Amino acid sequence: MNAVERSKVTVGVLALQGAFSAHEHALRRVGVSTRQVRLPRDLNGVDGLAMPGGESTTMSQLLESSGLFGEISRRIESGMHVLGTCAGVILLARTILDGRADQKSFGALPITVRRNAYGRQIDSFETNLDVAGLSEPFTAVFIRAPIIESLDGDVEVLASHDSQPVVVAHGNVVGVTFHPELTDDSRLHGLFVNRIINSLETNRR
Ligand code: GLN
């Protein structure tokens, strides 16, 4: 088997709006190179893409105006790994509830998400979660997070909170409804990078 060196892996971070620099730091802590993605050409040579939290309606507009929407869609379809967190998972969902009428999504994760679903009382909170593949609990920071209301296809649930899935995976797509980039714990980014490396190693065989 050819081992892929982490430092040779480049993960793009969608840098149109939102918490993108925290994702870059988290990814660098797990040993990969990062690149800010603002234009279609920034995607050349990236092995994966992280879509940060922020405001999914604004990101949807900026994805269109930058020309990134179509290019990212094509790449996800041809197997590019994506990690969407909070607004990012909304952008990846097949069905969005309480979205804006003109809000677009990549439809790459067969789930239904409801935006801002925790309501005003607890629109931000922190909790410790058991995540499949991690031996110790992960402190999850939820900020005006979406709720995954249904799984509409073959979706792996890696973590749940109050019996609702909060970390899910479907092929090359990982969705996290909270903000794993906002603590010093990079283990979820580590799991994402392992998925990228497994694919690169499989493709080399
Ligand atoms: N409520 C935001 C949205 O709908 C997501 C919040 C977040 O990313 N922290 O896009």
Asked if residue 135 has pLDDT above 60, the reply is yes
Tell how far the Cα of 196 is from the centroid of ligand 1, in angstroms. 25
What lies within 8 Å, CB to CB, of 64 at 6+ separation is 104
Q: Is the pLDDT of residue 120 over 80?
A: no
16 in a structural domain: yes
Ligand 1 atom nearest to 18, measured from its CA:
8
Q: Is the CB of 53 under 6 A from ligand 1?
A: yes
Residue 121: pLDDT band (50, 70, 90) is: low
Q: Is the pLDDT of residue 42 over 60?
A: yes
- Cα Rg of the chain (Å, integer): 16
pLDDT at position 1 over 60: no
Q: How far is the CA of 54 from the centre of ligand 1 (A)?
A: 5
Whole-structure pTM value: 0.96
Ligand 1 atom at minimal distance to the Cα of residue 57: 10
Mean of all residue pLDDT scores within the chain: 95
pLDDT of residue 21: 97
Task: Tell me whether residue 1 is in a domain.
Answer: no
The reply to whether 153 falls in a domain is yes
**Which contacts qualify for 150-154: CB closer than 8 Å, 24 or more apart?**
150/111, 150/112, 151/110, 151/111, 152/94, 152/95, 152/110, 152/111, 152/112, 153/94, 153/110, 153/111, 154/110
Q: How far are the Cα atoms of 65, 112, 182, 187 from residue 16, in angstroms, in the given order? A: 11, 24, 18, 25
Per-residue pLDDT tens over the stretch 73-119: 999 999 999 999 999 999 999 999 999 999 999 999 999 999 999 98
CA of 6 to the centre of ligand 1 (A): 30
55: containing domain: 6-204
Contacts of 203 (CB under 8 A, 6+ apart): none
Instruction: Decide the pairing of beta strands 138-143 and 93-97.
Output: unpaired
pLDDT above 60: residue 184: yes
Residue range 37-42: mean pLDDT, rounded? 98
Residue whose pair of structure tokens reads 């918490």 in the numeric block = 19
Whether the pLDDT of residue 5 is over 70: the answer is: yes
Summarize the confidence of residues 29-45 as an average pLDDT.
97
- What is the β-pairing status of strands 93-97 and 156-161? unpaired
pLDDT for 3 equals 79
What pLDDT is attached to residue 2? 57
Q: Judge if the beta carbon of residue 54 lies within 6 A of ligand 1.
A: yes
Instruction: Answer yes or no: are the C-beta atoms of 24 and 13 closer than 8 Å.
Output: yes
Please indicate whether residue 149, judged by its CB atom, sits closer than 6 Å to ligand 1. Answer: no
Residue percentage of the chain with pLDDT more than 70: 98
Is the distance from the beta carbon of residue 124 to the nearest atom of ligand 1 less than 6 Å?
Answer: no
Number of domains forming the structure of the chain? 1
Q: What percent of the chain has pLDDT over 90?
A: 93
- As annotated, the active-site residues are 86, 179, 181
Instruction: State both tokens at 17.
Output: 């709006």
Please check whether residue 38 lies inside any domain of the structure.
Answer: yes
Mean per-residue pLDDT for 187-199?
Answer: 97
The pLDDT of residue 4 is 86
Q: What is the CATH number of the domain that holds 147?
A: 3.40.50.880
Distance separating alpha carbons of residues 55 and 59, to the nearest angstrom? 6
